[in-house]
Structure 1
Amino acid sequence: MKNLKIVITFALFCTCTGVFSQEENDRGNGKFKRENIFLGTSLNLGLANNSFNVGLNPEIGYSINKWLDGGMSFNINYFSQRATDYSPYRYRNFNYGGGPFLRVWPLSFLHLQIQPEYNWTSSNEKNMQTNYQVTNRYGTGSLLVGIGYGTRILGQHYSYFTLMIDVLQNDGSPYRDQYRDPLPVLRAGFGLYLKPRRQ
């Protein structure tokens, strides 16, 4: 939890620094611009041996400059893992949560993303041999980092594909399997920018 707070603080600091530096560089043209606000969503998909993860991630953000976006992302996810020869347990998790994100575009088609999240999870575990099952509810932090490909036209629209992984090792993360191994997370996102106000 301490690491998550540090990452969130760092992400917010970077976002604020980018906003202020844009204002200085543009000399009066760096005022808050409505057309730099974007709304979008992404779909995520995680596939691994005997497991499946799917989710929806609406987001709202602001293009701070030509290479940096920041904002808030929310999520709803479903994760399931089948019983195997090595483990008789079947898992089904439903979670929701969110957190800030930074998306850096070093090239017009390539981006890097960091996204700390906090998720609340309802988990069902069932022993398929004995039919005994238990349901738990808990919250935990995750830190998704990744790289992606996409297009982004400021003031118009954007779309991307991002491959991320949870680099924290918290128990209960929706992006880790029952052995705490990370699950790859693929998100395909798209969105639109708000239109500028009429003068």
Structure 2
Amino acid sequence: MKKMLFLLLANLVLLSTIKAQDEDEDEKKGFKKENLFTGGSISLAFYSNTFLIGGSPVFGYSLTKWLDAGLVINYNYTSYRDVYIFDDRMRQSNWGGGGFVRLYPIKFLFAQAQAEHNWMQLKYIYPNDSSPDEKTKFSGNSFLVGGGYCTGREPKSGQPFYYLSIMFDIGNDINSPYTDAYGRSIPIIRGGLEIPICQGKKRR
């Protein structure tokens, strides 16, 4: 599954690069404040006694009509059940950030890659509170890949748009917040909003 996602992302990069060669060469070069955007997403994941919810504000720049890049800050809360023995539980809070790139081979579909470093605080709860809770802190890296669908996206229109994505962590770090209690990657569903910062409302 991870290899298929990587190959899909690589193919989309190639497709977008070919597409870029057909863009207007006379377009103004250099930094353009109207290309700045903000927004964020809400994350939701569930898999085999694992539940995750979180939020991720972003700040980015549209490098071209088909390529965005930016920074992300995130917070996630994860709950596990039946980790080591029946009816035990784990609660994990994590916060961190990283960078992302998002490719649009067509205006309403995208592929995304995102690297993160997160700090985590974990609490282990014994069944029936038979022993005191155990707490620990640690950190881990993640490399998320996936894709999604957006609605209302019109480059340079000045209009915000919504998106929905699904991503997987292919980084193989057992401390990643996007894995279950056995270190297996779980699907991460994100719904979000991208808002142009300095664009006025205009027609293309």
Q: TM tier, shorter chain?
A: 0.7 to 0.9
CA–CA distance in structure 1, aligned partners of residues 71 and 199 of structure 2: 21
Residue identity opposite 1:108 in structure 2: K
Alignment check: 8 A CA contact 1:154 1:193 kept: no
1:173 aligns with 2:172: no
TM-score by length of 1: 0.81
Counterpart of 1:134 in structure 2 is: 134
Counterpart of 2:52 in structure 1 is: 53
Distance 1:140 1:163, change over 3 A: same
Q: CA deviation at 1:66?
A: 1.0
1:43 aligns with 2:45: no
Alignment check: 8 A CA contact 2:59 2:71 kept: yes
Alignment check: 8 A CA contact 2:44 2:188 kept: yes
Distance 1:109 1:89, change over 3 A: same
Computed over aligned residues only, the root mean square deviation of the Cα atoms, in angstroms, reads 2.4
CA–CA distance in structure 1, aligned partners of residues 116 and 125 of structure 2: 27
Q: Secondary structure at the match of 1:153?
A: coil
Alignment check: 8 A CA contact 2:162 2:193 kept: yes
Alignment check: 8 A CA contact 2:101 2:114 kept: yes
Q: CA deviation at 1:189?
A: 1.1
Residue of 163, 185, 190 corresponding to 1:182: 185
Residue identity opposite 1:66 in structure 2: K
Corresponding residue pairs, total: 178
Q: CA deviation at 1:85?
A: 9.0
CA–CA distance in structure 2, aligned partners of residues 150 and 131 of structure 1: 48
| Structure 1 segments unaligned to the other structure (5+ residues) | 1-13
Residue identity opposite 2:195 in structure 1: L
CA–CA distance in structure 1, aligned partners of residues 139 and 119 of structure 2: 4
Q: CA deviation at 1:131?
A: 2.8
Counterpart of 1:95 in structure 2 is: 94
Counterpart of 2:144 in structure 1 is: 144
CA–CA distance in structure 2, aligned partners of residues 107 and 154 of structure 1: 11
Alignment check: 8 A CA contact 2:46 2:187 kept: yes
Cα distance per residue 1:12-62 (max 9 Å; x no partner): xx9xxx9xx99xx64461221111100101000001122210000000001
Q: CA deviation at 1:195?
A: 2.4
Residue identity opposite 2:145 in structure 1: V
